Structure 1
Amino acid sequence: MALDSTQTSDGFPIPAGVFAQTVTEVAHYTDRLFRFRITRPASFRFRSGEFLMIGLPNAEKPVFRAYSVASPSWDDALEFYSIKVPGGPLTEHLQKIREGDTVLMRKKPTGTLVLDALLPGKRLWMFSTGTGIAPFASLIRDPETYEKFDEVILTQTCRTVAELRYGQDLAAAVKEDPLVGEMAQRLRHYCTVTREDFPVRGRITDLMASGQLFNDLGVDPITPERDRGMICGSMEMLKDTKAALEGFGLVEGSNNRPDTFVVERAFVD
């Protein structure tokens, strides 16, 4: 539950406009990746796919960074998926949190990876690398995603096989979920690896350019009449995937100007 005091247990002030929430679960996947869940304020509302600023109560002026909410908008807790950055001003400390610790979160969510920023379509592509899968972890657990699209394809590219585990576990679990499981049978999860042996190797943009992505899935190439896209990952990946979608005729949209694809440009450390 949220702390009622204006100070943390360590005596640091809780800044105005900030919730102080309790860590309820922490799971480490590799020496670089972990997820954690915190309590959700009763008054907090967000759209699946949005991000918010989170920090730790370990200084007079806490460091805040943007984190996509990985849990869906209906969940009673908030989940996050994070990279561990050696020497990072936030993640150096965040990776050490345990159940019962306090995490700070600003009260206003935002972001472009929301369904409202896309024009109606038939097939939704979610392109991610690494922890860029986090907003899609939210969206594939939201019934609205399947109500708006006949088919949902989530792609994730990582350096190693171990880094795929969070997404693989999630994609399997969502199909058994009592709320969205039946609808999520229409979800397809396409994984690629760049630095180890794996059934599919390579960057997603190269696999699009060669046509292997579409051949592997048994689908037609992307068209602006049918397809919508969302992109979240490294800066280089955003640039290259944006160019690839524009090559298929898609146009970047935003919250105030919906179109055929959207890009998230908020990053952790």
Structure 2
Amino acid sequence: MNAPALKTEIEPVAIPAGVYAETVTEVHHYTDRLFRFRMTRPAEFRFRSGEFAMIGLMIDGKPLYRAYSVASPAWDEELEFFSIKVPDGPLTSHLQNLQIGDTVLMRKKPTGTLVNDALLPGKRLYMFSTGTGIAPFASLIRDPETYEKFEEVILVHTCREVSELKYGFDLVEEIRNHEFLSEIAGVKLKHYATVTRDANYPHQGRVTDLMRNGKLFTDLGVPPIDPEIDRGMICGSAAMLKETKQLLIDAGLNEGANSKPGEFVIERAFVD
């Protein structure tokens, strides 16, 4: 009598109810601390550029989620995310090992305050970011609606080292070379990158210090922040959020929300 055949198939992971299970299509590692990945987008998934989603993985048989800003614009056929790598992070320690073909879970309802609808009409939009806080702005600067609403869009990105700025430079280059975004963004988009630990880079220092001493505005060739025409979005570390928010309040701007638009908005969702 023949021995029974050994079962070699891998049991499929049970997907929790009420979530999407999407496939990774691209992974790019920038440094030992930063990477981005793209994955399939459910046909029925709708979001506003700048919103975040809860994404996660099955870990030890249970789903673990964290809030991640969707870095791709609302019109994109795929979803893009930009992440830090935390060696002992509950999720990022696993997420950084993603490969093409892997499955990522995503809850079905996006949300967030870094959206054009949460801002009152203005002429100049500042996007203040540190590290992976650039992610929601990666979505917004690739959305034509942003340029329809503002005459000037200034992406401010601060990192520790020059190598960590590459994602932002790649984004701007992509827009400059894009078939239709290049015409829409045109001269409206300005990119101001600064570092805090590399003495060889032209723009150095924390963005809040550059705002206080006026160097940010001098370098950009624009006047100091004016609540009548300037609008702001902030995404980054907790300390940066608090400090930048106070500087905008001191300049006469009021914080807005989806229910009550204002002159500036903050994103308070973080990854581990």
Residue 201, structure 1, aligned to residue 210, structure 2:
no
Q: CA deviation at 1:173?
A: 1.2
Aligned mate of 1:244, from 244, 247, 254: 247
**Distance in 2 separating the partners of 1:267 and 1:221:** 29
Match of 1:192 among 191, 194, 198: 194
Aligned AA (1:20):
A
* Shift, 1:92, TM fit: 0.4
Counterpart amino acid of 2:115? V
For residues 156-167 of structure 1, the aligned pairs below 5 Å read 156-167=157-168
Matched residue of 1:156: which SS? strand
Separation in 2, partners of 1:17, 1:119: 34
Q: Which amino acid aligns with 1:138?
A: S
- Contact preservation (8 Å) 1:57, 1:102: no
Gaps of 5+ in 1: 1-8
Aligned residue number for residue 268 of structure 1: 271
Q: After the TM superposition, which of the residue ranges 170-179 and 116-125 deviates more from structure 2?
A: 170-179
The question of whether the paired residues in 2 share the 8 Å contact of 1:12 and 1:59 is answered with no
CA distance in 1, matches of 2:255, 2:18: 32
Q: Deviations over 1:215-259 (max 9, x none)?
A: 001101111100000000000000000011111100000000100
1:41-77 Cα deviation digits (max 9, x unpaired):
0000000000000001333321100000000000000
Q: Which amino acid aligns with 1:209?
A: R
The amino acid that maps onto 1:194 is T
Q: Aligned in 2, Cα 1:18/1:254: closer, same or farther, shift over 3 Å?
A: same
The alignment's C-alpha RMSD in Å is 0.9
Q: Does 1:230 align with 2:241?
A: no
SS state of the match for residue 49, structure 1?
coil
- The structural deviation recorded for 1:122 is 0.4
- Structure 2 stretches of 5 or more lacking a match? 1-9
> Which SS does the other structure have where 2:49 is aligned?
coil
1:17: Cα distance to partner?
Answer: 1.2
Contact 1:224-1:248 at 8 Å conserved across structures: yes
The question of 1:100 aligning with 2:101 is answered yes
Q: Secondary structure at the match of 1:188?
A: strand
2:108 pairs with 1:81:
no
Counterpart of 1:177 in structure 2 is 178
Give 1:10 deviation, angstroms. 4.8
Pick closer, same or farther for the CA change 1:10–1:116 going to 2, 3 Å.
farther
In structure 2, give the amino acid aligned to 1:121: G
Give the distance between the partners of 1:119 and 1:217, measured in 2 at CA: 23
Aligned to 2:53: 52
1:81-133 CA-partner distances (Å, limit 9, x unpaired): 00000111100000001000100000000000000000000000000000000
What is the match of residue 30 of structure 2?
A: 29
CA contact (8 A) 1:161 1:196 kept: yes
User: Which region of structure 1 is more displaced relative to structure 2, 65-74 or 54-63?
Assistant: 54-63
Q: Are positions 1:212 and 2:215 aligned together? A: yes
Q: Does 1:69 align with 2:78?
A: no
| One-letter amino acid of the counterpart of residue 174, structure 1 | I
Residue 193 of structure 1 aligns with an amino acid whose one-letter code is V
Equivalent pair of 1:12/1:58 in contact (CA under 8 Å): no
Q: TM-score, normalised by structure 2?
A: 0.94
Tell me if structure 2 keeps the 8 A contact 1:141–1:180.
Answer: yes
Corresponding residue number in structure 1 for 2:4: none
Question: Aligned pairs, how many?
Answer: 261
Whether the aligned pair in 2 keeps the contact of 1:19 and 1:107 (CA below 8 Å) is: yes
SS in 1 for 2:63: coil
Taking the aligned partners of 1:59 and 1:118, their CA distance within structure 2 comes to: 42
Question: What residue is the counterpart of 1:3 in the other structure?
Answer: none
% identical equivalent positions: 69
Of 130-139 and 57-66, deviating more is 57-66
